[in-house]
Structure 1
């Protein structure tokens, strides 16, 4: 009975993760605590899950990456690859991204390259950004440090007293997979939309919300008389009045105090409203706000703004900026902007004050697309020190002179001592949510195993694939992991699939290595649905993509990825009796 109740709780957890209303860190922590209270995990095991050496390695790698992502190398690479014909530039971009993502945090790589791609005028960004995101995934499966998901699986392996994953053990399958999928992407990139820079008709517009202030000259006068009908480049879309929408808006409509006007059109023409007296844009006079500098940003996966409204977080005070518009892929967001729950990947058009660039929380919350706010980059000497130190740490780990955890700790101390990294930056960018997700997931895995739920699932898997043998079980674990990673985040998918994969390997009585690695490969196989992978969400709004764009371009990539993984994994990691 305990096993069935545990499976029911996991099903509920999965449903809540898919729903997306509550953060994964909160849900996993709650479930870990519930398993402890239910007696499935003792207190010592629960606390040990959050101090797992492999988990600390994940955290250190992300902290060290804060320095590496400021290297001038990535920016220089971008300028060189985005030249020549589109297909050649796309190939160079995919190659560079895959190589960088094999060792650097893929979110950071995509964040930096995304800004450069969005700013350049040679090639439509929409033809490059999905391949950029896919290439970051492919680079991630070639090495142990390529993505946090690999390190999560490694943490589970170590926690279950299995041999740790080697630095390049994933490469035997990962490199052929990357090469095959890059070839497919060169073809599928032609199916992506072509939104050329500067073509306003092809771009999804922002929507600007303005409120008629009490006592404004606009009150008691019609739209026509107030001159709001024929604004240069702008269109008055609708009026919200005391909870009711007026749409379409006729020229004779009389304005009242408190009316909220929604404008759309060319973002460069929003300055037109600067001269309209009596309008407030997000609580500030339009002449003050629209006279400020305009900056376009993308909400980062680590942002504290996710699932909150602008009013809830007091956006103006937090960033010394007002929100002029919000864009979500190709989705039209209307109504009062201050009441729209923000999502990771949303594009915000900001009118920023003089102190905006000085706020220390920008890196944690935003990826900046414009040229006006580029993070201070490392000098040539600093870049050499940072990249050389990281290469030395990886080399020491590969040669087994020093384990990866120790080498990353030493590297972080060097970065702190040389001021390449500050404690303030560590505090601001510390991946606390990831720590809670992985630590709690390790605890959940122990609960799933102790309750008998993992063994129950493994028995079902063996019965289901009894006619195809152990290889059928391997395929089943992979497909389950792939499905989970499309529905929830990749780290959550790895956490939920690993106990099942390990129990299935034990049920068949074979060496679990192939099953451990197939979970790692499957957890990074998210190409179809943008909501399960953070880099997909990052590029969705800058590329003006629809969900169908990801599916159309990603389906051939996903099929190729799966075929190569399922063909090569049992070859390089035989399913021998353990």
Structure 2
């Protein structure tokens, strides 16, 4: 009976994760805490899951990456990567991005290249940004440290008493699959939209909000009389009047005090609003605000702005900047923009004050697409020191001369002592959410195992695939993991799929290694839906994409990836008796 109740609670957890109202950290912590309070997990087991060696290794890797992402290496490479034909540029960009993502956090790699690709004019950025995101995922499947998902799976394996995964254990499958998918990307890049064929086109689709203040000379006059229909580069799409939304806006519509005018248009045409007396842009006088430096940013996956509105926070105090416009992919935003909850991946047009780049919370909240860098880049000597140190740690770990945790701990201390990493930066960027998700997920996995729920699911898997043998079960586990990855997040998908995979391997009496690896590869197979993977969200608005763009570009990559993984895993990791 307990097993069925646990499975029912997991079904509720999955439903809430798919719904997306609550973050994975909140949900996983609630479930783990609830199981502990109900006596399904001991207090000691709950606390020990947060001191798991593999989890500590992941946290150290992410902290070390904070310094590595400041290396000028990617800045120097970006210009040469984009030379040549579009297909050749896609191949070069994909290959180099995958190579670097094999050892660096993929969000840092995409964040470093997002600005240069968005600003260059050799090729439309929308032809390159989805391949950039895909390549960062493909690089991650080639090494243990390539993506947090591999280290998450390693955490579960260690906790289950299985051997720890090795540094290049992923490579024999991951490398051929990555090369295959990069080739498919280059061939299918023509299906991607050309949303930025010119400088003017690349800076459109922002949505700007201006309020008519009391006493404005615009009041009592029609849209046509106020010359608001003939603004070069700006188009009035709707008026929000109290609780009423007027759309489309007719030329005879008479303005009233308090009306909120919503425009769509080009960044470099925003200054046209300066000539209208009595207009406020997001609560600040347009004339004063638009004389500031206009900067484009993308909300990062670590941002505290997610699910909050501009009006909920004191944005100007936090960042010394005012929000002039919002862009979300190619989606039309309606209503008062100041009341729309922001999302990870939204592009914001900011009128930045002189102290904007001095605020220490910028690197946590934004990826800057234009303007100066958020943090100073390392010098060549500093970059060489950090990259050489990291390469040495990886090599020593691969040769089994030094455990990865020990090597990262030494490197972390060296970065702190040298000043390349500061305690303030560690506090601001500490991956607390990942720690909560994984530590809590380990508790949930333990409850699934001890309650008999995992064995129950494994029995169902055995019955379902009995006619297809153990390979059929392996395919089934992969498809379950892939589906979860597309619907929720990669780490949450690995957490929910791992107990099923381990239980299925034991039900068939085979070595669990192929099933462990298939979960790792399946949890990185998110190519179709932009909202489940953080690098997809990073490029979503910058490339002005629609959902169908990811489906069209991602389907051939997802098929090639799946066929490659399902063909190679049984060859590299044989399905032999335990």
- Shorter chain as normaliser: what TM range? over 0.9
C-alpha deviation, 1:29, in angstroms: 0.4
Q: Separation in 1 of the partners of 2:168 and 2:233?
A: 55
Which string of whole-angstrom CA distances, capped at 9 and with x for unpartnered residues, describes residues 376-398 of structure 1?
11110000000000011111211
C-alpha deviation, 1:497, in angstroms: 0.3
Structure 1 residues 370-379 or 29-38, which shifts more?
Answer: 370-379
Contact 2:363–2:374 (Cα < 8 Å) also in 1? no
Q: Separation in 2 of the partners of 1:386 and 1:79?
A: 23
C-alpha deviation, 1:248, in angstroms: 2.9
Cross-structure match for 1:19: 19
Q: Separation in 1 of the partners of 2:196 and 2:305?
A: 30
Cross-structure match for 2:192: 192
The answer to whether residue 484 in structure 2 is matched with residue 499 in structure 1 is no
Contact 1:150–1:520 (Cα < 8 Å) also in 2? yes
Cross-structure match for 1:490: 490
Contact 2:130–2:536 (Cα < 8 Å) also in 1? yes
SS for the counterpart of 1:179 is helix
Q: Separation in 1 of the partners of 2:184 and 2:421?
A: 39
Contact 1:397–1:404 (Cα < 8 Å) also in 2? yes
Which string of whole-angstrom CA distances, capped at 9 and with x for unpartnered residues, describes residues 329-369 of structure 1?
11111211111011111111111111111111111111111
C-alpha deviation, 1:256, in angstroms: 1.9
Structure 1 residues 434-443 or 309-318, which shifts more?
Answer: 309-318
Which string of whole-angstrom CA distances, capped at 9 and with x for unpartnered residues, describes residues 509-544 of structure 1?
111111111100000011111111111111111111
Q: Separation in 1 of the partners of 2:482 and 2:473?
A: 14
C-alpha deviation, 1:247, in angstroms: 2.6
C-alpha deviation, 1:230, in angstroms: 2.3
Cross-structure match for 1:371: 371
> CA 1:487–1:270 in structure 2 vs 1: closer, same or farther (change >3 Å)?
same
Q: Separation in 2 of the partners of 1:357 and 1:115?
A: 16
The answer to whether residue 371 in structure 2 is matched with residue 381 in structure 1 is no
Aligned CA RMSD, in angstroms, stands at 1.3
Where in structure 1 are there 5+ consecutive unaligned residues? Answer: none
SS for the counterpart of 2:545 is coil
Q: Separation in 1 of the partners of 2:564 and 2:226?
A: 64
> CA 1:373–1:335 in structure 2 vs 1: closer, same or farther (change >3 Å)?
farther
Cross-structure match for 1:525: 525
Cross-structure match for 2:112: 112
Cross-structure match for 1:73: 73
Q: Separation in 1 of the partners of 2:152 and 2:293?
A: 42
Contact 1:204–1:330 (Cα < 8 Å) also in 2? no
Which string of whole-angstrom CA distances, capped at 9 and with x for unpartnered residues, describes residues 294-347 of structure 1?
111111111111111111122222111111111111111121111101111111
Q: Separation in 1 of the partners of 2:121 and 2:200?
A: 14
Contact 1:238–1:249 (Cα < 8 Å) also in 2? yes
For 1:135-174, list aligned pairs within 5 A: 135-174=135-174
C-alpha deviation, 1:551, in angstroms: 1.1
C-alpha deviation, 1:60, in angstroms: 0.7
SS for the counterpart of 1:232 is coil
Where in structure 2 are there 5+ consecutive unaligned residues? Answer: none
Q: Separation in 2 of the partners of 1:252 and 1:530?
A: 41
Q: Separation in 2 of the partners of 1:180 and 1:236?
A: 47
* Length-normalised TM-score, structure 1: 0.98
> CA 1:203–1:356 in structure 2 vs 1: closer, same or farther (change >3 Å)?
closer
Cross-structure match for 1:509: 509
Contact 1:119–1:371 (Cα < 8 Å) also in 2? no
Contact 2:204–2:264 (Cα < 8 Å) also in 1? no
For 1:172-183, list aligned pairs within 5 A: 172-183=172-183
C-alpha deviation, 1:95, in angstroms: 0.6
Cross-structure match for 1:100: 100
> CA 1:203–1:252 in structure 2 vs 1: closer, same or farther (change >3 Å)?
same
C-alpha deviation, 1:199, in angstroms: 5.6
* Length-normalised TM-score, structure 2: 0.98
Contact 2:49–2:440 (Cα < 8 Å) also in 1? yes
Contact 1:213–1:278 (Cα < 8 Å) also in 2? yes
Q: Separation in 2 of the partners of 1:300 and 1:201?
A: 24
The answer to whether residue 435 in structure 2 is matched with residue 441 in structure 1 is no
Q: Separation in 1 of the partners of 2:551 and 2:224?
A: 45
Which string of whole-angstrom CA distances, capped at 9 and with x for unpartnered residues, describes residues 475-502 of structure 1?
1111110110010100000000001101
Contact 1:326–1:346 (Cα < 8 Å) also in 2? yes
Cross-structure match for 1:570: 570
Q: Separation in 2 of the partners of 1:458 and 1:249?
A: 59
Structure 1 residues 57-66 or 312-321, which shifts more?
Answer: 312-321
C-alpha deviation, 1:231, in angstroms: 2.2
C-alpha deviation, 1:291, in angstroms: 1.1
Cross-structure match for 2:432: 432
Contact 2:307–2:341 (Cα < 8 Å) also in 1? yes
For 1:234-383, list aligned pairs within 5 A: 234-383=234-383
Q: Separation in 2 of the partners of 1:294 and 1:208?
A: 13
C-alpha deviation, 1:201, in angstroms: 5.3
Q: Separation in 2 of the partners of 1:329 and 1:203?
A: 12
C-alpha deviation, 1:401, in angstroms: 1.9
Contact 1:144–1:151 (Cα < 8 Å) also in 2? yes
Q: Separation in 2 of the partners of 1:451 and 1:507?
A: 16
Contact 1:204–1:544 (Cα < 8 Å) also in 2? no
SS for the counterpart of 2:104 is coil
Cross-structure match for 1:479: 479
Cross-structure match for 2:6: 6
SS for the counterpart of 1:350 is strand
Structure 1 residues 566-575 or 366-375, which shifts more?
Answer: 366-375
